[in-house]
Amino acid sequence: MKRAESILLPLAVGVAVLAVWAASVRWSGTKVFPAPMQVARGVGELARRGVLVAYLRDSLLRVAIGYGAAVLIGVPLGMWLGWSKNAATAINPVIQLLRPISPIAWIPVAIVFFGVGNLAPVFLVFLGALFPIVVTAQNGVGAVPVMYLRAARNFGLSPPAMLWRVLLPAALPQILSGLRIALGIAWLVVVAAEMIAVDSGLGYLIIDARNAGKRYDLVVAGMAMIGLIGLGLDWLVRRMETLDEVRWGLSGR
């Protein structure tokens, strides 16, 4: 029953939103904002032109590379900062200095460094995702109960074994929260970067459709695909919370 509700309730809300959208467009008589069927036809047009899959692929690839690099660097760095007070004292001020700077503010710098191409949005995605991952990993390790560490030392675990078998599982729930937040930021950043720094991707689709004939059906189609893909990515991260290692970490909190 709960599984059916988790599917039917969001579906019903989605249908209601589409119905209100269609009725609002018809009632207002607007010639600018498209109705749902116009957006659906716009998606079909993109597919027939052969650009839909290419735009989706380019955006997802940029996010995968930038976000993946942020995970590979951010999780170990954050855990090290949470483990070592000296490292945190030395490096944390730099992180707190850079963290409030919006990744969008880095766009001119990224273009200067990498030019107009794939590297600029990948770099921006990396920056946007890195700091939430580092901070949550650091906080996750710092919040591990002292009794876990004492028990690990009593059993004679080496520092690498303690890190892998105790700290990581215990901090994993908070790390996953950071990964989820960072993925949402990465998806937002890549769309903004694609409006300026490249000539492909969903962000480019939106700005190009707006400039080339004011095709607002394609603009909204791009927005809808961004939202749906973001929903799917968030669902994938949330599925990781069902892992046994994550439940172990949650049970200790």
Mean pLDDT along residues 159-182: 82
- Is the dihedral angle over the CA atoms 104, 115, 76, 80 positive or is it negative? negative
Alpha helix (H) residue ranges in 84-145: 85-98, 107-114, 119-142
Tens-place pLDDT, residues 62-115: 999 999 999 999 999 998 898 888 988 899 899 999 988 888 899 888 888 888
The secondary structure of 57-77 as a DSSP string is HHHHHHHHHHHHHHHHHHHHH
Per-residue pLDDT, 253: 46
Per-residue pLDDT, 87: 87
Integer CA distances (angstroms), 147 to 67, 86, 139, 165, 245, in order: 34, 22, 17, 14, 18
Mean pLDDT along residues 142-150: 75
Q: What is the reported pTM? A: 0.84
Q: Which helix (H) or strand (E) holds 103?
A: none
Alpha helix (H) residue ranges in the chain: 2-28, 36-49, 52-83, 85-98, 107-114, 119-142, 146-154, 159-162, 168-194, 202-211, 216-239, 244-251
Distance CA 119, CA 127 (A): 12
Where are the domains positioned within the chain?
Answer: 56-251
Q: Which of 35-39, 62-66, 241-245 is predicted with the least confidence, judged by mean pLDDT?
A: 241-245
In the DSSP assignment, the letter for residue 167 is I
Per-residue pLDDT, 243: 61
Rg (CA), the chain: 22
Q: Which of 35-49, 80-94, 112-126, 145-159 is predicted with the least confidence, judged by mean pLDDT?
A: 145-159
Length of the chain as a residue count: 253
Is residue 140 within 8 A of residue 219, CB to CB? The reply is no
Q: Which of 15-24, 147-156, 194-203 is predicted with the least confidence, judged by mean pLDDT?
A: 147-156
Structural tokens at position 76: 């170990």
Distance CA 238, CA 180 (A): 8
Return the CATH fold of 56-251: MetI-like fold (1.10.3720)
Higher pLDDT: 140 or 146? It is 140
